[in-house]
Amino acid sequence: MALAIAAFALFSYFGSKQFNPVLQEDQYIGITPQQEIALGLQAAPEMAAEFGGLHPDQQAQAFLDEVCRGLIANSDAGDAEWPYECSLLVDDQTINAFALPGGQVFLTLGLYNELQTEGQLAGVLAHEIGHAVARHSAQQIAREQLTQGLTGAAVIAAYDPQNPNSMATSQIALVVGQLLTMRYSREHELEADRLGVRFMAQAGYDPRALIEVMRILAATGEQGPPEFFSTHPNPENRITAIEEAIAEEFPNGVPDGLIQ
């Protein structure tokens, strides 16, 4: 039974390969684009409500829309053809931004108030748009389905009703599965940073503003768990990755005249 479960999980995962034209690479995707869009639209009201709902400040929202539309219209992000929407949330205590499947992007007022320039706002939005373009939610669904299948098979194979100690092996398998999933999430964050640099540069923004965003997050964040046990890389490590992405995007140095 354990072998059958593992074989089905592997077959389902490796049979879900799709080509991403923006990334120019194959991905293992757990749902279709239509399902992804529907999932994001369905989840958007509930997610917004968790942060106090949409902010009534029409001027701030209009500015957010302007930067969001500029990024999409002037970068490869527009080639993904997601129904992008960037929204400002009421919560002024939480410093956060996130993207739902299909291009629904949210930014809390707490983070918005910390940003000092248009370029920094563009950096946050470009990063979140990068998550949507790379279809990280759909990849995560496929990855979790694979992990659950394999860890479930390991639990069945390891557990012996006559030997209570075998439960420890089963629990270890589950923990390893969770760590694999979290590691995948950290890789997504770094890829979204690289895509954010790319989209910012294409839209005329200075990608170094994204480094300033990381410093803001580092200054406002509380002491968290070790990076290996966290779904997000440390801001210091992300800065290094962003600097490498900027050097790759601009091998001769960042030109003058970009929006900061």
Beta bridge partners of 88: 107
DSSP letter for each residue of 222-245 = PP-S-GGGSSS--HHHHHHHHHHH
User: pLDDT (tens digit, 9 = 90+) per residue, 64-86?
Assistant: 999 999 999 999 999 987 999 99
Annotated catalytic residue within 50, 85, 114, 128: 128
Task: Give the separation between CA 209 and CA 222, rounded to whole angstroms.
Answer: 22
3-state secondary structure of 24: coil
DSSP H or E segment with residue 218? helix 208-220
Query: Catalytic annotation on 227?
Result: no
Domain ranges of the chain: 2-249
Q: What is the 8-class DSSP label of residue 79?
A: G
C-beta separation of 96 from 111 below 8 A? yes
Q: Which residues contact 73 (CB under 8 A, 6 or more apart)?
A: 203
**C-alpha count within 13 angstroms, C-beta hemisphere, residue 167:** 5
Task: Give the separation between CA 102 and CA 132, rounded to whole angstroms.
Answer: 6
Q: What is the 8-class DSSP label of residue 255?
A: P
pLDDT at residue 147, as a whole number = 57
Task: Give the separation between CA 72 and CA 41, rounded to whole angstroms.
Answer: 19
From residue 21, give the alpha-carbon distance in Å to each of 24, 88, 191, 198, 233: 5, 29, 16, 15, 27
pLDDT at residue 62, as a whole number = 97
pTM: 0.78
pLDDT at residue 162, as a whole number = 58
pLDDT at residue 24, as a whole number = 76
pLDDT at residue 140, as a whole number = 77
Residues in the chain with pLDDT < 70? 1-16, 30, 142-184, 221-232
Task: Give the separation between CA 249 and CA 219, rounded to whole angstroms.
Answer: 27
C-beta separation of 104 from 123 below 8 A? no
pLDDT at residue 145, as a whole number = 57
